[in-house]
Amino acid sequence: MNEYKSIACRYHEIATKGHNRSMFEERLVANIRMLASYDKIEDLTVQRMRGRIFIRKKKNMAFTPDELENIKKMLSRAYGIESFSPVLETAPELENILDLAAKCASALIEKMLEKKESVTFRSRARRSDKSFPLKSKELEIEIAKRLWGVFGERLKIDLTSPDVSVGVEVRDKIALVYYETFKGPGGLPAGCNGNVLALLSGGIDSPVACGMTMKRGCNVEFLTFHSYPYTPMESLEKVKNIASRLNLYQKKGRLFACNLSELQKLIRDNCNPRFRTVLYRRMMFRIAEMVCHRYRLGAIVTGDAVGQVASQTLVNMSVINDVTKMLVLRPVCGMDKLETIDRAVELGTYDLSIIDLPDSCTVFAPDSPAVAAKYYLVEAEEKKIPDLEKALEETFRSIERFDDL
């Protein structure tokens, strides 16, 4: 079997972009380099060439199987990539292409024929160089003919789920042959659409909301609320671990950690207990807006899903949303919990999220929270807090920042 010296990455949504497409491509190249450095994969060159991104080793050496595995893992985190394949390269001449495609497919087919009577096969060709003498379909037939010449009846065509599939791409200076295609995470490269602030709790949903926002091309910074000493410091450590896991997908976002307990005490001591959860959340949104203004972040992201818990009725969500003019993104809104859990497992945050530690929202939680808090009642309760502005300002000023997670 030939050794792979190159991996070709395909993208989908970027390809639909017009005049600013190269900006998205450059961001994807930069992100791949960055993710490789996080994984300590050294000596790679990452280049874009006519609608593809190629990853090679410096000095044009072949990848070892371990290196290929590590790169596969790394690329599964690179938002913007639709799919990728380790590829063999040859000159874009018919004989060279047929030789290479047939030689490598033969090795795979022979191996399978040791165990089976016959093997199914398909070739897929694409030519971006229209001056190449054969059309894609014709090239596919030529490859099949070559292999039939070797294996005869033992080789059958199957276009839907063949045992062996050979891909060929003819470009103007080079032709690519590949046997495997791996799915990438899709979407747009993290960071190409600006920076946002995610409200990150220790739960399952908000990390998934972060992943989905990165997939739309945003770089995510994190804001978490704790209530030390009413919640343990371990709760903050847990969120730090989740943030650093999420940072494996993007240019590292900072974590802002805000102690909400002074505001929570004011709410406990002055307001009707039924509205505590909604009032806490209104404070969270106000602080989030202050952080966004201070650090020029374009939106707030939350893991809200309508109807999931008491604070997430439409009425409560509106009352909470009412305190800010910021754009609020809620990407998990359309998912059910099982889908969200699947995404959390894929992202690698699930195992961290299920560690059972108290959340800020549960501090002084009432027995029967309001599920449909009326605006005017909530506002009246809030007015009972003496000098709320000052308390918010002080809480904002006491935020701790972690830059390198």
Question: Shortest distance, CB of residue 334 to Mg ion, whole angstroms?
Answer: 19
Q: Exposed/middle/buried for 287, CB within 10 Å: 0-12, 13-18, 19+?
A: buried
Separation of CA 190 from chain center: 8
Q: CB under 8 Å to 131, separation ≥6 — which residues?
A: 172
Partner whose binding site includes residue 113, from Mg ion, ligand ATP, none (CB under 5 to 8 Å by kind): none
In the DSSP assignment, the letter for residue 188 is: B
Partner whose binding site includes residue 313, from Mg ion, ligand ATP, none (CB under 5 to 8 Å by kind): none
Alpha-carbon gap, residue 60 to 115, rounded angstroms: 36
Q: Taking the alpha carbons of 367, 339, 16, 84 in that order, is the dihedral positive or negative?
A: positive
Question: Shortest distance, CB of residue 204 to Mg ion, whole angstroms?
Answer: 8
Alpha-carbon gap, residue 198 to 250, rounded angstroms: 14
- Residue with Cβ nearer ligand ATP (35 or 198): 198
Alpha-carbon gap, residue 176 to 97, rounded angstroms: 8
**Which of 368, 280, 268, 377 is CA-nearest to residue 320?**
280
- Residue with Cβ nearer ligand ATP (75 or 284): 284
Question: Shortest distance, CB of residue 245 to Mg ion, whole angstroms?
Answer: 17
Beta bridge partners of 223: 199, 256
Question: Shortest distance, CB of residue 303 to Mg ion, whole angstroms?
Answer: 7
Alpha-carbon gap, residue 345 to 339, rounded angstroms: 10
Question: Shortest distance, CB of residue 303 to ligand ATP, whole angstroms?
Answer: 2
Partner whose binding site includes residue 224, from ligand ATP, Mg ion, none (CB under 5 to 8 Å by kind): ligand ATP
Give, to the nearest 10 degrees, the angle between helix 136-151 and helix 94-113. 50
Question: Shortest distance, CB of residue 39 to ligand ATP, whole angstroms?
Answer: 27
Length of the chain: 405
Question: Shortest distance, CB of residue 324 to ligand ATP, whole angstroms?
Answer: 13
Q: How many residues bind Mg ion (CB under 5 A)?
A: 2
Which residue is at the shortest CB distance from ligand ATP? 203
Partner whose binding site includes residue 236, from ligand ATP, Mg ion, none (CB under 5 to 8 Å by kind): none
Cis-peptide into 273, omega within 30 deg = no
- Residue with Cβ nearer Mg ion (45 or 362): 362
Q: State whether residue 336 is helix, strand or coil.
A: coil
Tokens 């993007």, located at residue: 250
Alpha-carbon gap, residue 282 to 300, rounded angstroms: 13
Span 279-318, contacts to Mg ion by CB under 5 A: none
Which residue is at the shortest CB distance from Mg ion? 203
- Residue with Cβ nearer ligand ATP (87 or 300): 300
- Residue with Cβ nearer ligand ATP (71 or 198): 198
- Residue with Cβ nearer ligand ATP (219 or 316): 316
**Which of 40, 46, 103, 84 is CA-nearest to residue 66?**
40
Question: Shortest distance, CB of residue 388 to ligand ATP, whole angstroms?
Answer: 19
- Residue with Cβ nearer ligand ATP (123 or 360): 360
- Residue with Cβ nearer Mg ion (259 or 353): 353
Partner whose binding site includes residue 219, from ligand ATP, Mg ion, none (CB under 5 to 8 Å by kind): none
Partner whose binding site includes residue 90, from ligand ATP, Mg ion, none (CB under 5 to 8 Å by kind): none
For residue 325, count other CB atoms closer than 10 A to its CB.
8
Residues in touch with ligand ATP (CB under 6 A): 199-201, 203-206, 224-225, 284, 302-304, 308-309, 311-312, 359-361
- Residue with Cβ nearer ligand ATP (123 or 206): 206
- 42-72 as b/e: b if 16+ CB within 10 A: eebebebeeebbbbbbeeeeebeeebbebbe
Partner whose binding site includes residue 87, from ligand ATP, Mg ion, none (CB under 5 to 8 Å by kind): none
Question: Shortest distance, CB of residue 193 to ligand ATP, whole angstroms?
Answer: 20
| Rg, the chain, Cα only | 27
Span 191-210, contacts to Mg ion by CB under 5 A: 201, 203
Binding region for Mg ion (CB under 5 A): 201, 203
